Structure 1
Amino acid sequence: MLNKPLVILISITVVLVAYLLMIQIKIGVPYWDVFNYLNNAFHFANMGSSGVVNHLPPLIPLLTSLFFRMGYVSVDVIFILSGLIFILGIIGLYLLLNERFDSTKSLTGSLIFISLPVVMAWAVSGGIDLPGVVFSIWALYFMVIGLKKDSKFLYLVLPLLVISILTRYTAGLIVLPMIFYILANFNQVKNIPQIKKVIFGIAIEFGVLLTIFTFFILQLDTSALFGLFFDIVTSSSSGVEDVAYNSNFLFYLQNSLNYISLGPIQGTYRQLLNPSEGIPSVLAYIITMISVIGIFSYIYRFLSTGKEKNISQVNIINLGKITIILVLFIGLVLSFYNKSLILSEIFLLALVYLSYRFMARERFEIDNKLALDLMFLSWFGAYFLFHGILPFKVDRYFITMAPAFTYFIVLGLSQFINELKPRINGLKSKSGLVYMAIALICLSVTTVTYIGHTPQKTFTLDIEDASQWIKGYDPNYYNKIIGSDYPNAVTWYLHKETTGAYLKYYNNTDEFADYLQENGVYYYFDSNKSHPTLKSYRIIKEFGVVAIYEKITP
């Protein structure tokens, strides 16, 4: 039977993605790493090895390289690929939400997810944050329906988990909510028909996928990745020298209003990509207030049902349960602020699992809803802990928490509206319209804000113009050393290795010019708005914010 809400969702998403693609293709690449993925894709297509960064996740560059092999070598490829994956992710999110909510609420939640500024801004950017989340969503969805409906879907969980990790390494943290959900449904796992056959099949899958995964990892230079992970889990990373360094553990929580909705309409593209630099809209405060009230109401009503008859026994049992939960929570907070990632994740898993066991009412429907609630809580918590401890904070990392964040917005809205139904005549029959109105308002506000913040182009288009110009100016450019403060972009457009050269690391322009000369740099591409005077170099051409310097020869 045709699922009308899903059809509506797909239609809205496709139209929106088409619009976002039109804008993204016009304004160009939004940030540094996309050029790294493009250079890697060029290498995977056996078209060259300039600018390869071996430690990056391989999946998106690999998929992009398939289009390159077919002759379509363009930045647009990675934008379009991102858009297609995004559409797939929205479908998956709807289906996952539909395991907990009805179709109207699931549609609302999916549209709210799209409307999160940090999601819309990065949806077709060519980045890996959203694709990593997309494959994680599908892995979780197949696990949920595999345990609840048909065990055959469990065979898809492991492949999608591996795909998500190869898309974005930190997607592996999704195993924590997976472990919780399996433990919470352990009795169902034991009752799955042919469970031995399922386990045997997954074990074979594991062996094959582990071999494939190992092959990919061995092809990559993962020393930097493992070094960073080691620093985090051992609390030895400072990262002070990095521009994204931020020691605020609660950065993402404190900016949660900005992640719901930005205002005003006019603003900068930088604010769009980094909502923490903007200001939240009135809508963000309203949605937050309603959701928080609804969630507290939900918790209160859940805890106030199913009381035991023996009051003295209840008091003793409850006191023990509360003590255990408090100890685990305190352990979680202490380990978090002591930057102990592994301990924090262990405490989180223990906390949500024992909370489930203590609160389960022995009724399947309630148990199932609670299991999903706590699964999403563990999802949000796993990434919140990791990115809170991580010394580098950028807004797009919040995307990893966005599906769980959206889940609790929907849960809060649902409970809030349920509380109002007995008090407002006609609300029960028209609640579906209320949900749709909320979703469309959120989507409209974010779309208008996106339009108001989007520039005519990014400065990377100036780099493209400069790169095309140098080809005509000096046909022998390929045999000369070229430097830039945005080397991966110049490398992509010229398909030639470019030397990284950054003025900010030197005391003065003379020291920087000496560095360029010592390294034999003949042309230097500078992407700063104010172009310094460099001894022994002269500016030969400017394109927007980009200037091309040429070495002065006697």
Structure 2
Amino acid sequence: MINNFNLKNKLLILLIIISSIYTAILVHIQSIIGVSYWDIFVYLQNSMLFAHINIGSQLSVPPVLSLLTSIPFRMGFISETTLFCVSGILFILLIVGIYLLFNEKFSPELSFIGSLFFSMLSLVVTWAVTGSNDIPSLTFSVWALYFTIKGLNKSFNYYYLAFTCFLMAFFTRFTEGFILIVMISYILMNKDKFKVQINKNDILKLFMFIVFLCAIIGGFYLYKQHTIPFLSQFMEVSSSSQVSSVNIGYDLNPYYYIEYIPQLLTSTNVSLLYDKTLTTIYNTPTLLSYVILVLMCGGVILSFKGVYKKENIHNFSFILAVILGIITIITYLHVSYIFTEILFTITLLLLYKSSLNKINQMDLLMILWMGIFIILHSYHPVKVDRYILPTFIPITYFMINGIKNITIKNKKTPLIILTILLVILIPINYSYINSITHPNPQSYEEKQAATWLEAYDNQLTNYNISSDRGVAFSWYLKKYTYTTIPRVLEQNNETLENKLKTINAKYYIDATSNTTSIDGYHIIYTNNKEKYGIKIYQKD
């Protein structure tokens, strides 16, 4: 036991060293690529606001990542790379958290290789340090679940850390709050032990602690915005009718993620369409993707081997679980996703109860985790590849579980197979990283245009500016730029000319809309490029 503990700590130190070097490389590459995704500009703007420099903000988005980035911003490190570095630190914490979480089921060696394997999957690499909130929110989710497990098995005080991390996850990305279902399910599976804990500890203190944190956060939003934004986002996710087809990710295919999962797992290079669609679905998957999926499916199926017993036929919990499972399948995509999530969760908990604890708890938690996020994002009409990132941890987990179960007679074989898979993944990962290491052409042209406009008019701060990429030019010009998108205006029966007149814009920067003329304005700048063409209009 002592030797295993020492091994676990040694591998943890080694993992921190390797993941730090690996992440530093990714941050350097991201600094070459730059920012290409709309929301990341919003996080940069909010970071400026929290650093007391207002260039426009959208406090309706989760604040945690921007709050963390604002700390080095206040020290004077105001750049895109700062956001990439903050994301990188959280990525290292994610890899470490996965390692510790996997140790709850697997050996330190398998957990070590498994956490590294996760970090090299193509979709993970694509978004690891971009400044997007997907990976940071996942970091807090992993630690929230890990501390919940420790709270039940080690010390009640870990629950304080667990719910703090949960709130951090939620306020990094609102949909990540669904990890709470997994946390509560673990407590329900161990309700007898939890009851003993409640008798020995002051549960009221924990409850008041959670209420206090929620009250502070809710109060801040009500004071600043007179509303709580995640409630409207919750309604948006619940009702697809509130999402416009104008959204670039609009896709009503409910099997989108299942269909494209091989491309998201591993690919040797990025598609030429990548910089336009911000997706990896156009890539060519490697054979390794299908090996991962086969092993994963085997790992999931073998997790339920304790349920397949004759005595379960007369078990009320098992019968009820089967009935609810059938209802879940029948009603899938025909009712609110919340109803489906509840049915799915209850079904799994009943299966656990009927198996008389023969289903491993970690296995069930990972199935629940994977299922919850697949259901959530399959329902939503906007399909963006990065949304499905939370499922990659369970996928990696069940890949290891599949290897472990099919080689159960030899303890060393799972480690050998997993090591071979990692060795195969490394050159794939290298090739993929190499293919994305180039400046984003859209960002480059936008920076050039912004630099030109600043030189053209040294009184720029005195005038209103508008653009179809307002958030990008707010960041580049370090001045609030109105976002005015012609295709969105058309859907609302508005015209670009009227909108520009309303806001009294002296300049309009067209980065993506391909306008040929605007009444009352003349072109003063164009980069003369067919792709990534940018025009700057000045008021007559």
State whether TM-score is above 0.5: yes
Aligned residue in 2 for 1:201: 205
Determine if contact 2:307/2:351 at 8 Å carries over to the other structure. Answer: no
Determine if contact 1:180/1:352 at 8 Å carries over to the other structure. Answer: no
- Residues of 1 paired with 2:33 and 2:154: CA distance? 45
Amino acid aligned to 1:407: Y
Aligned residue in 2 for 1:355: 351
What SS does the aligned partner of 2:350 have? Answer: helix
CA shift digits 1:414-438 (9 cap, x unpaired):
223337x4xxxxxx54542332221
Note closer, same or farther for the CA distance 1:401–1:52 as it changes in structure 2 (3 Å cut): same
Aligned residue in 2 for 1:523: 507
Aligned residue in 1 for 2:388: 398
Give me the CA root mean square deviation. Answer: 2.8
Aligned residue in 2 for 1:47: 53
- Residues of 1 paired with 2:86 and 2:188: CA distance? 36
What SS does the aligned partner of 2:171 have? Answer: helix
Aligned residue in 2 for 1:478: 461
Aligned residue in 2 for 1:538: 523
Aligned residue in 1 for 2:3: none
Determine if contact 1:41/1:65 at 8 Å carries over to the other structure. Answer: yes
Aligned residue in 2 for 1:125: 130
Q: 1:342 aligns with which of 320, 338, 342?
A: 338
CA shift digits 1:56-95 (9 cap, x unpaired):
1111111111212111111111110000011011111110
Determine if contact 2:141/2:179 at 8 Å carries over to the other structure. Answer: yes
CA shift digits 1:342-386 (9 cap, x unpaired):
21121122111101001134xxxx56xx11111111111222221
Post-superposition shift, 1:496?
Answer: 1.8
Determine if contact 1:267/1:453 at 8 Å carries over to the other structure. Answer: no
Moved over 6 A (4+): none
Q: Which runs of 5+ in 2 are unaligned?
A: 1-5
Q: Which runs of 5+ in 1 are unaligned?
A: 422-427
Q: 1:91 aligns with which of 90, 96, 104?
A: 96
Aligned residue in 1 for 2:314: 317
- Residues of 2 paired with 1:143 and 1:119: CA distance? 25
- Residues of 2 paired with 1:478 and 1:374: CA distance? 57
- Residues of 1 paired with 2:512 and 2:277: CA distance? 21
Q: 1:549 aligns with which of 499, 515, 536?
A: 536
Pairwise mapping of residues 441-520 of structure 1 onto structure 2 (< 5 A)? 441-505=424-488, 512=496, 516=500, 519-520=503-504
- Residues of 2 paired with 1:272 and 1:120: CA distance? 17
More moved, 126-135 vs 212-221: 212-221
CA shift digits 1:13-50 (9 cap, x unpaired):
111111111111112113000111111111111112x3
What SS does the aligned partner of 1:523 have? Answer: strand
Amino acid aligned to 1:404: P
CA shift digits 1:202-228 (9 cap, x unpaired):
123123212222223323465664334
Note closer, same or farther for the CA distance 1:284–1:358 as it changes in structure 2 (3 Å cut): same
- Residues of 2 paired with 1:231 and 1:343: CA distance? 16
Note closer, same or farther for the CA distance 1:441–1:268 as it changes in structure 2 (3 Å cut): farther
What SS does the aligned partner of 1:239 have? Answer: coil
Amino acid aligned to 2:510: D
- Residues of 1 paired with 2:538 and 2:380: CA distance? 41
Aligned residue in 1 for 2:370: 380
Q: Percent identity?
A: 29
| 1:214 counterpart = 2:214 | no
Determine if contact 1:233/1:339 at 8 Å carries over to the other structure. Answer: no
What SS does the aligned partner of 1:167 have? Answer: coil
What SS does the aligned partner of 1:41 have? Answer: helix
Amino acid aligned to 1:284: S
- Residues of 2 paired with 1:139 and 1:502: CA distance? 39
| 1:28 counterpart = 2:34 | yes
Aligned residue in 2 for 1:259: 264
Post-superposition shift, 1:517?
Answer: 5.3
What SS does the aligned partner of 1:208 have? Answer: helix
- Residues of 1 paired with 2:79 and 2:406: CA distance? 48
Q: 2:326 aligns with which of 327, 330, 343?
A: 330
Aligned residue in 2 for 1:389: 379
Note closer, same or farther for the CA distance 1:8–1:403 as it changes in structure 2 (3 Å cut): same
What SS does the aligned partner of 1:275 have? Answer: coil
Determine if contact 2:468/2:513 at 8 Å carries over to the other structure. Answer: no
TM-score by length of 1: 0.87
TM-score by length of 2: 0.90
- Residues of 1 paired with 2:341 and 2:299: CA distance? 27
Determine if contact 2:40/2:131 at 8 Å carries over to the other structure. Answer: yes
Pairwise mapping of residues 56-67 of structure 1 onto structure 2 (< 5 A)? 56-67=61-72
- Residues of 1 paired with 2:236 and 2:462: CA distance? 40
Note closer, same or farther for the CA distance 1:526–1:231 as it changes in structure 2 (3 Å cut): closer
| 1:247 counterpart = 2:225 | no
Q: Kindly indicate whether structure 1 or structure 2 has the higher relative contact order, using CA contacts under 8 Å at least 6 residues apart.
A: 1
Amino acid aligned to 1:40: N
